[in-house]
């Protein structure tokens, strides 16, 4: 019988029960219980100097490792990971490198970022409460929309100030397409022999542990996994004219350099022709001289 006065709440603690008594005047009925509305709050801390929200999240590892407590700050300059104790910037992902973002489940926000050295975008996952996750999603979406609008406005202003001829614009598009094609081409050619990320927890060269900020990098020649400092070399893998420099480990850098030097020496070495080739060339020369003499005789 007391179910008529029971208070109901949604997932966020907000009252969805019956409203005020519709009788309007006080008839002697039992007073309805007072409902205190619970308003969800994002797990944030505010920078008093700039009014910037910093979300308390856990940075989830993609491979082996444990989650890391960080502060996530979203702005027009990008998505920052900050030290929760000192607010020191640990990593920043500029908005122009963020390719997409999504909520994987009710408490995990993920975005994909692709830098100039990455062949494909990599995923970064942030775990927090469901309300904080949705707040981060809305903030990243709003920042990305505003960033794109600002970029397009700058582009229009630049085009109006310095208009380029259609041929120059076409050449620029062609160059960008070729750069993109050369960058993407090795993806399908090289990954067959790559060691899987989850199979290695330490750098193959220096044995340093991998973490969210000490990332795995594949050598494009041998396919093993190294840290960034052990894969500083950049070199083409073949002597083709359109072959682009790619990331290689220190060991393969020396090996590929020797291979390319040998190929270059072989290409510059004079070709020794066989007796058959020389005989054919002599026959062609004799026929050519015969026709020349024959033509001069009748002309």
Span 231-245, pLDDT tens digits: 999 999 888 878 888
Q: According to the model, what pLDDT value does residue 22 have?
A: 43
Once rounded to an integer, what is the mean pLDDT over residues 202-218?
89
pLDDT at position 151 over 50:
yes
Least confident of 46-50, 234-238, 269-273: 46-50
At the topology level, CATH places domain 187-265 in Herpes Virus-1 (3.30.40)
Name the band, by pLDDT with cuts 50, 70 and 90, for residue 112.
very high
Q: According to the model, what pLDDT value does residue 212 have?
A: 82
At the topology level, CATH places domain 44-152 in PH-domain like (2.30.29)
Q: According to the model, what pLDDT value does residue 11 have?
A: 55
Highest-scoring range by mean pLDDT, 34-43, 167-176, 209-218, 276-285: 209-218
Q: According to the model, what pLDDT value does residue 183 have?
A: 44
pLDDT averaged over every residue in the chain:
76
CB atoms within 10 A of CB 118: 14
pLDDT at position 3 over 80:
no
Q: Model confidence over 55-88: pLDDT tens digits?
A: 999 999 887 788 999 999 998 888 999 999 988 9
Name the band, by pLDDT with cuts 50, 70 and 90, for residue 45.
low
Least confident of 162-171, 226-235, 281-290: 162-171
- What pTM was estimated for this model as a whole? 0.41
Once rounded to an integer, what is the mean pLDDT over residues 109-128?
87
Query: Between these two residues, 8 and 48, which has the higher pLDDT value?
Result: 8
Q: According to the model, what pLDDT value does residue 27 have?
A: 46
pLDDT at position 258 over 60:
yes
Once rounded to an integer, what is the mean pLDDT over residues 161-173?
61
pLDDT at position 32 over 90:
no
Query: Between these two residues, 49 and 59, which has the higher pLDDT value?
Result: 59
pLDDT at position 101 over 60:
yes
Q: According to the model, what pLDDT value does residue 161 have?
A: 65
Under the phi-then-psi rule, with left for phi > 0, alpha for psi from -120 to 50, and beta for the rest, what region is 260? alpha
* Residues of the chain above pLDDT 70, percent: 68
Q: Where are the domains of the chain?
A: 44-152, 187-265
């Amino acid at each position: 019988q007391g179910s008529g006065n029971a208070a109901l709440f949604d997932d966020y603690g907000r009252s969805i029960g019956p409203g005020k008594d519709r009788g309007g005047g006080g008839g002697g009925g039992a007073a309805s219980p007072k409902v205190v509305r619970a308003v969800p709050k994002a797990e944030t801390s505010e920078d008093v100097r700039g009014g910037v929200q910093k979300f308390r999240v856990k940075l989830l590892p993609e491979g082996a490792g444990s989650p890391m407590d960080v502060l996530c700050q979203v702005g027009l300059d990008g998505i920052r990971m900050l030290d929760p104790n000192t607010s020191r910037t640990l990593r920043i992902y500029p908005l122009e490198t963020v390719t997409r973002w999504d909520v994987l489940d009710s408490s995990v926000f993920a975005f994909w970022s692709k830098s100039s050295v990455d062949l494909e975008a990599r995923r970064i996952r942030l775990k927090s409460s469901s309300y904080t996750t949705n707040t981060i999603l809305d903030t990243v979406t709003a920042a990305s929309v505003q960033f794109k609008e600002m970029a397009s406005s700058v582009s229009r202003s630049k085009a109006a100030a310095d208009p380029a001829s259609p041929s120059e614009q076409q050449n620029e598009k062609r160059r960008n397409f070729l750069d993109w094609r050369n960058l993407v081409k090795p993806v399908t050619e090289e990954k067959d022999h790559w060691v899987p990320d989850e199979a290695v927890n330490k750098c193959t060269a220096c044995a340093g542990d991998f973490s969210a900020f000490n990332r795995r990098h594949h050598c494009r020649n041998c396919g093993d996994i190294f840290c960034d400092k052990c894969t500083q070399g950049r070199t083409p893998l073949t002597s083709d004219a359109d072959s682009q420099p790619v990331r290689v480990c220190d060991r393969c850098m020396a090996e590929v350099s020797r291979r390319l030097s040998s190929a270059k020496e072989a290409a510059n070495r004079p070709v020794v022709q066989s007796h058959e080739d020389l005989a054919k060339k002599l026959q062609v020369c004799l026929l050519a001289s015969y026709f020349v003499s024959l033509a001069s005789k009748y002309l």
